Structure 1
Amino acid sequence: MTTFHVMAGSDDMAERPAIRRITLSDVRDALALGFEDFRAKPSHYVFLSLIYPICGVVLVTWSSGANLLPLIFPLIAGFALLGPFFALGLYEISRRRELGMDTSWRHALEVRHSPALPSILAVGALLFVLFVAWLVFAQMLYTNLFGPEPPQSLGLFMASIFSSENGLLLMLAGNAIGFCFALVVLATTVIAFPLMLDRDVGAVVAMETSLRATLMNPMPIAAWGLIVAALLIVGTIPLFVGLAVIMPILGHATWHLYRKLVVDERT
């Protein structure tokens, strides 16, 4: 039965899982293992995979129709901030495959029965707040540089971005702000969701463990962040269709990265 224990684990103890030091080869291995998980039974993940390109297209369509063209890129980039939460089902599939259990697609939905669900939802809510904050900052930046009036068309909008000093400043400042948001999410949630799914340690402990893992392994975690960013960019190019493959692989790989970073003291 799911109970409300967000600050600490189910036994009200603030467990601090031990962290390993890893190398870049471990990051590559985690990615390879994630690909193996995806390749094992990819048909089971189709319905999950399609969520990502569909949501991406919907976000762009909505922003265009609502005269919110300046928010197209922030929406696409910010959508990645929510990725760790949306990959919960993929972590569960990798966990079950690791244990030799049934990995039918329906088990991806069993996360809703996890005793750590309140903690998972709490961290998910935090990611949503960061997502909204990123959009607010992006809109404020555009308004300060180009004024409150929305662009009349996509062509005029693109021209103003790529042919003016304000456009260059928007890209530089926007990417810098986005990097800060992404860094916060990476450092605090890189393994938080897999940890909560595997061991009900509480939201605060899960985020603190992710932060400790990042500080102990700055280069491997930075490399992981760059790999994720690069693959997400590649996935969005063909009308988001590539995300149907990229996101599941990254989701599975995140589980294996968690396994490499956190010592399982229960065995």
Structure 2
Amino acid sequence: MITLPPTAPPLRRDFGWSRNLPVTVAFKWLAAGWADFRNRPGLSLAYGLAVFLVSIAIVAGLFRLDLDYVLFPALAGFMLTGPVIALGLYEKSRRLQRGEPVGLSAMILVRPRSGGQVIFTGVLLMLLMLLWMRAAVILYALFFGLLPFSGFADILPVLMHTPSGWALLIVGTLVGGLFAAFSFAISVFSLPMLLDERTDSLTAMGTSMALVWNNLAVMVVWGGIVLTLVTLSVAIGLLGLIVVFPVLGHATWHAYRTMRQDPAADIAIEQLDGAES
């Protein structure tokens, strides 16, 4: 029989429900992520380089298989699966915070306290990504019929200078935004939680959604920071992922520990404030 780890108790009323965090704390998470990146930067750079190379290989594979029409949904779907890919970065930040030794092997061969529940969460996010990619293809067919993809040289004029193109942009943005918001809410804190605590996947995802909903202002700002940095990385040929992805991964760990009301995380943020002043 397969034994699951004991389920974490339900959320307490004081558990991250109304911490009244200022929206500026999102930038402090980013600064804390940068600090972790600079602590043994070779490890984070190697991790980011691996993410970059895999991303380039996937993009090349899409073109090789004549699946370039799903490139944009696939790039958007990268945001859905990012928290799973960043598990090793959470581990580095966790070890740094606890003063434990950290190496590349520890970041790659991560042993989450929740065991296989991480795999279950990853599968759910992958299915969500595939659902979004299928929805994007269906939306294209709804507005342009069963015509073949015209290629990247022609797609921008079609989108920007035709009524169908504008309609696809508006509806696609709304539908994609719903997918992105939902996946962000269930994954941003669930993966760090599964790494750090013994709990099950559904409890972790529910906890993540509750934390996001009850700290909405700061999480909207944090989501905007993530979207902006990832978009800039894509705009320069994914090269920015080598640095941006590790920094965001480390920063997400600090965001999680802040939401979990970890005194060590609050002290780290205060130290950053002191260094700035």
* Superposed pair shares fold, TM > 0.5: yes
Q: 1:245 to 1:13 in 2, by over 3 A?
A: closer
State the TM-score, normalizing by the size of structure 1: 0.90
Deviations, residues 161-180 of structure 1 (Å, cap 9, x unaligned): 23211111111111111110
Residue 152 of structure 1: how far off its partner (Å): 4.5
Q: Distance in 1 between matches of 2:222 and 2:142?
A: 34
How far has the Cα of 1:117 moved from its partner?
A: 2.3
1:1-267 matches, cutoff 5 A: 4-5=3-4, 10-12=5-7, 14-16=9-11, 18-19=15-16, 21=19, 22-111=21-110, 113-264=111-262
Q: What's the C-alpha RMSD, in Å, of the aligned pairs?
A: 1.9
Report the AA paired with residue 16 of structure 1: L
Q: Which amino acid aligns with 2:90?
A: Y
Q: Which amino acid aligns with 2:235?
A: I
Structure 1, 48-57 or 185-194: larger mean CA deviation: 48-57
What is the CA deviation profile of residues 154-211 of structure 1, one whole-angstrom value per residue up to 9, with x for unaligned ones? 3233332232111111111111111101100111122111111111121122111111
Q: CA deviation at 1:126?
A: 0.8
Worse-superposed segment, 127-136 or 151-160: 151-160
Count, aligned residues: 258
SS at match of 2:116: helix
Deviation at 1:13, TM superposition (A): 5.1
Tell me the amino acid that sits aligned with residue 234 of structure 1.
L
Tell me the CA shift for residue 4 of structure 1.
4.2
For structure 1, the 5+ residue unaligned runs are none
- Percent identity of paired positions between Structure 1 and Structure 2: 29
SS at match of 2:109: helix
Instruction: Tell whether the 8 Å contact from 1:53 to 1:239 is kept in structure 2 after alignment.
Output: no
1: CA distance, partners of 2:158 / 2:63: 16
